[in-house]
Structure 1
Amino acid sequence: MPQVTAEVWVPVEPDVAFAVSQTTGEVRMRWDPFIREQHLIDADVPAKGVRTHTRARVGPRMVSEYVSYRPPTSVGMTMVTGPWFFASFGGGWRFVPAEKDGRAGTRAVWKYTYSVRPSWLRFIAEPIGQWLLGREIRARIAAWARACEDPVVLDSL
């Protein structure tokens, strides 16, 4: 299955980095360029097995489920229902302590794995998916990195 990956270093500890990545509501809308609407479906807080409804700014909707939730190191999700062109979709975000120029912080690695349908269209759709999802994940992780230094976001944690 095709994958797209992005990584970045942020000047906050992993627990803060993880918490920023899991913000919801207005705080999430402040930093996440992908999401137009997002809410937990069957819980008040994220956890393994909890489902999330997400509507992208460009329109598609997806219900995903947390398949792992391990603060402050990692989180993973898989698509339950979503756009017709995804046969499957999953994402994982990892957070590890890392120094940069002698400064403590966190290295974040975000990855999307997907397959497209119909299968006969893969030779065209997968390169488009690599480009589109690659652009989206890079923009999203860059926005998240800025949020890790945004006083409004940090004060909300």
Structure 2
Amino acid sequence: MPQVSADVHVPIPPDLAFAVSQTTGAVRRRWDPFIREQRFLDGAVEPGVGVRTYTRSSFAGPISPSMVSEYVSWRPPTSVGMTMVRGPWFFARFGGGWRFQPDGDGTLAVWKYTYDVRPTWLQRIAHPIGQWLLGREIRKRIDGFAGGCRDEQVLAAARADMARRAGADQQAEGGEVA
């Protein structure tokens, strides 16, 4: 399957970069130019393996394509992956993932899409178009992510998410939360 990826160095530690990448709602829209609407589904309030999300792109305003995705991996602070459950008719398959690794005084963040298109007879033409379109989109999005990693409101929300999750993890392990 074809893939596109983009990477960027951000001047924050990997755990915070990971948290920025997983922001949702209004905070996510501050940095992600692709997102028009995004929410967890099925009563979920946190990301994790098996959690589904709904995302509508900003591509064409209110008639923009939407997608239901599911987390297939969740490994803070190093990686996360999602796959399309339902989406635009032209994607036979679609998945995306992030990787984060320490890099000097910050983090190297890599964002990757893997996809296939339908109908199969159109792939010879559609794959190069997809490489161009999705490549352009992922570069814009990772540039937005880099901006989010310098935005104090985004960073504050990401830090709050990290603290909340750490407290929930500690509570789940039987510890007390201060």
TM range (shorter): over 0.9
> SS of the counterpart of 2:84?
strand
1:94 to 85, 91, 99: 99
Runs of 4+ in 1 over 4 A off after TM superposition: none
Deviations 1:14-45 (A, max 9, x none): 01000000001111111110010000002100
CA RMSD in angstroms, aligned pairs only: 0.6
> SS of the counterpart of 1:79?
strand
What is the CA-CA distance between 1:156 and the residue it aligns to? 1.6
Amino acid in structure 2 at the alignment position of 1:118: P
Query: Partners of 2:90 and 2:34 in 1: how far apart?
Result: 18
Aligned to 2:46: 45
**Structure holding more helix per residue:** 2
Q: Does 1:83 align with 2:82?
A: no
What is the CA-CA distance between 1:57 and the residue it aligns to? 0.5
What is the CA-CA distance between 1:111 and the residue it aligns to? 0.6
Aligned to 1:145: 146
Aligned to 1:26: 26
Deviations 1:40-67 (A, max 9, x none): 0021000000000000001110000000
Query: Partners of 2:156 and 2:129 in 1: how far apart?
Result: 38
Deviations 1:88-138 (A, max 9, x none): 000110000111xxxx10001111000000000001111110000000000
Q: Does 1:55 align with 2:60?
A: no
Query: Partners of 1:138 and 1:15 in 2: how far apart?
Result: 22
Query: Partners of 1:76 and 1:37 in 2: how far apart?
Result: 19
Aligned to 1:69: 74
Gaps of 5+ in 1: none
Aligned to 2:9: 9
Aligned to 1:126: 127
| Structure exhibiting the larger radius of gyration computed from Cα positions | 2
Query: Partners of 2:109 and 2:154 in 1: how far apart?
Result: 18
Aligned to 2:137: 136
Report the identity percentage. 70
Amino acid in structure 2 at the alignment position of 1:48: V
